[in-house]
Structure 1
Amino acid sequence: MKKISRRLFLGSASIVGTGMALKPTSIWAGNRSLDSKPALLGGEKTITKSFPRWPIVDTTEEKALLDALRGSRWGRRVKDNAADNFENNYAKLLGANHCLTVNSGTSALFTIMGALNIGPGDEVILPVYTFIATYNAVVLHNALPIIVDIDPESFQIDPKKMEAAITKETKALMPVHIGGSPADLDSILEIGNRHNLPVIEDACQAHLAEWKGKKVGTFGIGGAFSFQESKNLNCGQGGAVTTNNRQFMDACVGFHHQGSILQDNPYAQGGIRGGNLRMTEFQASILNAQMTRLEQQAKTRSENATYLSRILNEIPGIAPAKLYPGTTNSAYHLYMFRYDSNYFAGMSRARFMEALSAEGAPCSGGYGQMEKTPRITSLPNNRHYIKIYGEKTMKDWLERIQCPQNAKVSGEIAVWFSQTVLLGSKTDMEQIAEAIRKIQKYAQEIKEAKI
């Protein structure tokens, strides 16, 4: 993939910063709309058709649900049910030895940590740039979430900062394959091996993503997937745990089913805990139906994302999120790119996203500063945490989890497209690039417009 050099960024910033438009060049015969004003200034939208709605359903889902309804076996009371079928098929698709369905991605993470007997006094390292569920799964076990900063080019956890955060209380490393792109697994697994720490893969957004030809969710002690309604594979709410370790899977099965685990399992560790985290037949039936389209949809997203990255890389100030060399496939649950306002007359990211959405390319700024939100900053005042860790430790914890790179990325740089945008056509990808070029050409006017 072609990269934008630092020299090109710095050398062009002064030109665009004065409002002078850069002459567009392209690998495709596009640029049809550059002469018209941006939609935000009263011009015509670049993209006039809607992107696919989500989820995509047809009679396959209808039949699956009706079969479950009429079968009168809505839980997992019998063998060879819909959940069993999904677990077998999903494990086979991923190349995992074992798969367990649960009722959410959060429950998948919670189950993995429960099977590892993580609890009060323990620390788990996770990235700041993630959905709050990653954090919640840790605090639900009354463990201490150690939030670390990201690599601003990839938006993924920085392995060096992860290793620097390890203490004698660390019990697990939990990277997130954010946006569906693999984290730097080689580095993270090496750190885990060197410090004798299990790696939990939060693959909730990464269905069918690959690292060196192997599906993510199969590298660490366990992988967690989400099937929430926005996900590439979904059933409204649902999740799964994957692993290649039979005894660990037995521990996960036990934890998700009221602690029914054999005492001689090494993961039992002297005390059995558990709850009801099981998936219903209705959720599993929808998953089986949605699975029939998963691989083709993944292929479409990958092809469109690859093409979109090629043409966006030609636009100064726009840089698709870096994929690490081991990435052989991203799931592209999110298409993430970096926006540099210096190439858009100093226009704020918020105004850029407003202009891009007006052109018919819906986008967002992604995650914010999780470590600054009240749900995080209030944890040191939680009476249970004060009792477990003490006031000084909790006060120091707030200092430990400051993430300056994330502050810059989440506040000024990151822009997202959802996975449904990548289910469009090649022409749609070209029109996204055309819309950005148009915005760049009229950046000064857009910035100054009273809208």
Structure 2
Amino acid sequence: MKNKNFGRRDFIRTTGLAAAGAMLGPGTLRAGVRSQLPAVLGGTPVRTKEWPAWPIWNRETDEPLVVDDLRSGIWSRASLVTRFEKEWGDFVGTKRCLSVVNGTNALITSLLQLGIGGGDEVIVPPYTFIATVAAVLATGAMPVFVDTDPATWQIDANKIEAKITSKTRAIVPVHILGLPADMVKIMAIAKKHGLVVIEDACQAHGAEIGGRKVGSFGDAGCFSFQNSKNLAIGEGGAITSNDDAFMDKCYSYHNYGNPYGSVVGQVNAGTLIAGNKLRLTEYQAAIGIGQLKRLGAETELRNANAAYLRERIGKIPGVTPYTFSPGVTKAAFHLFPFRYDAKGFKGLPRAAFLKALNAEGIPCSEGYAPLNKMPYLQNAFQSKNYKKMYTAAELDINAFNKRNNCPLNDKLCNEEAVWFYQSMLLGTRADMDDIVDAIQKIHDNADKIK
């Protein structure tokens, strides 16, 4: 799977297919697995059954609310959306929640209503999905990349202050893969420099720092409910916050800019702010309400299996599992990551390792490419709006690349990263053993595969 042409969502869509392609019969190999010929060389795969499917749908518990809504004809935003917002806000631990059409627009709305726009600089990580930086560009602001801490896979909070200038207005930490960023340090930096913080928690449903859920630390928390996410609606997103005035503005913005709460004007003044139409539907909310009932138990299972898997694969030379940021008490594990070192596998390239692991019936991916080095940035800088808002020197892509060089992230993306998808962690302990056996089998036969 080549990351440059094979993204996270492609990996997720084909997770089941990759496992199914390895189905040669029931059961798994346990005894003598190390001596078996690797599947990539024609041997029998370690894994010979499908992984848990995603998303999960329970006809008995999930369908009545959706079907009743469809039959009612009340499909646009109404009581079910309000109910879902209340339940999601309670789950995250914030006073307010607003649903929108997707996580990308949750980020755009939050940035705009916190005053971010042309001429501003916004600190972002280079190891994230494109939506994070696309949202910054949509406001006209300039992204500033801070290198990744390879141990935690998160933005390196120790390197943020060096990137702050007089133009810096916001930090967008991303709890990427469902592993929380170092929010305690990031919030302290933001307070010191008078910056706003928008948490991109689109992959981090239920993750916690000190028992407090992500999405409740910053000025805003942004979530996605796209079909691959740990709470899947198909499409959808949400903004969480404790700031009533901010949330009133977000509500107004998502409904064309019409009056709402503290966003008021003269009687019959009409639309008050430049807005958009980002309303969630009732049947989407009905799906989300059903999914939310299982999220807590699913998160606990993912954490238990991840801890077991981490402990076992960490003993294999050449495999370095994730480390939590300070204070993390629970992760979401939208993806389970580890770093691969070819030297521990007798020089076997990562691409060959991934191919061999997939052949053993263990779907895996190399993950993201460096987000700070893609053509979309130059395309944005060449736009009419950016040319009006910034100097030629600021838009020089070569100078930009030098300022935003992230060498540790480059190594993580190009040489080290390996992912497993979250639904694999909803399996049994024996399923986790399959993963361990497959990695160990490849390790012990690396010279043959190479």
Superposed pair shares fold, TM > 0.5: yes
Q: Distance in 1 between the 2:311 and 2:294 partners?
A: 26
Kindly provide the amino acid, as one letter, of the partner of residue 73 in structure 1: I
Query: Structure 1 pair 41/74, CA: closer, same or farther in 2 (3 Å)?
Result: same
Q: Which residue of 2 aligns with 1:278?
A: 279
Q: CA deviation at 1:43?
A: 1.2
Question: Any idea what SS the aligned residue of 1:416 has?
Answer: strand
Cα distance in 2 for partners of 1:352, 1:126 equals 31
Alignment of 1:10-409 (within 5 A): 32-59=32-59, 60-76=61-77, 78=78, 81-261=79-259, 272-395=273-396, 396-409=399-412
CA–CA distance in structure 2, aligned partners of residues 183 and 261 of structure 1: 36
Distance 1:342 1:135, change over 3 A: same
Cα distance in 2 for residues equivalent to 1:72 and 1:66: 10
What letter matches 2:405 in structure 1? Q
Matched to 1:56, the amino acid is I
Q: Is the contact made by 1:114 and 1:274 (CA closer than 8 Å) also made in structure 2?
A: no
TM-superposed CA distance for 1:65, in Å, is 2.1
Q: Any idea what the Cα deviations from partners look like across 1:253-283, whole Å, max 9, x if unmatched?
A: 11211123569669xxxx8321111111121
Deviation at 1:31, TM superposition (A): 6.2
Shift of 1:82: 1.0
Change over 3 Å in CA distance of 1:426–1:262 after alignment to 2: closer
Q: Which residue of 2 aligns with 1:7?
A: none
Q: Percent identity?
A: 45
Report the TM-score, using the length of structure 1 for normalisation: 0.88
Aligned to 2:440: 437
Per mean C-alpha deviation after superposition, the further-off stretch among 356-365 and 54-63 is 54-63
Give the aligned residue type for 2:362. Answer: A
In structure 2, C-alpha distance between the alignment counterparts of 1:253 and 1:133, rounded to whole Å: 21
Q: 1:426 — aligned with what?
A: 429
Q: d(CA) in 2 for partners of 1:425 and 1:401?
A: 42
3-state SS, counterpart of residue 94 of structure 2: coil
Distance 1:119 1:150 in 2: 25
Following TM superposition, by how much is the alpha carbon of 1:130 offset from its aligned partner in structure 2, in angstroms? 0.3
* 5+ long unaligned stretches in structure 1: 1-29
1:240 deviates by 0.4
Structure 1 CA distance for aligned equivalents of residues 177 and 239 of structure 2: 19
Question: Which amino acid in the other structure matches residue 314 of structure 1?
Answer: K
Cα pair distance change 1:31/1:265, threshold 3 Å: farther
How far apart, in 2, do the equivalents of 1:331 and 1:442 lie?
A: 33
When residues 245 and 391 of structure 1 are mapped into structure 2, their CA distance, relative to the original with a 3 A threshold, is same
Aligned AA for 1:320?
P
Cα distance in 1, alignment partners of residues 421 and 378 from structure 2: 29
CA RMSD after TM alignment: 1.7
Task: Give CA deviations for 1:44-64 in whole Å, capped at 9, x if unaligned.
Answer: 111111111111112133322
Relative to structure 1, is the Cα distance of residues 242 and 361 closer, same or farther in structure 2, using a 3 angstrom cutoff?
same
**What amino acid maps onto 2:58 in structure 1?**
D
- CA displacement at 1:379 relative to structure 2: 2.8
Structure 2: which amino acid aligns with 1:39? A
- Return 356-365 or 374-383, whichever deviates more: 374-383
CA contact (8 A) 2:306 2:425 kept: yes
Q: Which amino acid aligns with 2:400?
A: W
Give the distance between the partners of 1:71 and 1:397, measured in 2 at CA. Answer: 54
Q: Deviations over 1:102-151 (max 9, x none)?
A: 11000110111121121111111110000000011111111111122111
Distance 1:383 1:400 in 2: 23
Q: Does 1:417 align with 2:420?
A: yes
Tell me if structure 2 keeps the 8 A contact 1:336–1:414: yes
* Aligned 8 A contact 2:319 2:338 in 1: yes
Q: What whole-Å deviation, never above 9, does each CA across 1:297-327 have from its counterpart, x for those lacking one?
A: 1111111001001101111110111112311
**Deviation string for 1:53-111 (max 9, x for gaps)?**
111112133322211211211112x4xx1111111111112211111111100011011
C-alpha spacing 1:31/1:164, structure 2 compared with 1 (3 Å): farther
Distance (whole Å) between structure 2 residues aligned to residue 407 and residue 322 of structure 1: 19
Q: Which amino acid aligns with 1:402?
A: N
Aligned-pair distance for 1:158?
Answer: 0.8
Please state how far the C-alpha of 1:360 moved relative to its aligned partner: 0.8
Question: What TM-score comes out, normalization by structure 2 length?
Answer: 0.89
- Report if the CA contact (8 A) 1:377-1:398 is conserved: no
Q: Is the 8 A contact 2:137 2:380 kept in 1?
A: no
Q: How many residues align?
A: 412
Judged with a 3 Å threshold, the aligned counterparts in structure 2 of structure 1 residues 37 and 122 are, in CA distance, closer, same or farther, namely: same
User: Which residue identity is paired with 1:280?
Assistant: T
CA distance in 1, matches of 2:167, 2:72: 49
Which residue identity does 1:146 align to in structure 2?
V
Task: Using the TM superposition, give the Cα deviation of residue 439 of structure 1 relative to its aligned residue in structure 2, in angstroms.
Answer: 0.3
Contact 1:226 1:240 in 2 (8 A): yes
Report the CA distance between 1:186 and its aligned residue.
1.3
Structure 1 residues 31, 148: CA separation in 2 closer, same or farther (over 3 Å shift)?
farther
Instruction: Give yes or no for contact 1:257–1:277 (8 Å, CA) kept in 2.
Output: yes
| Alignment correspondent of 1:14 | none
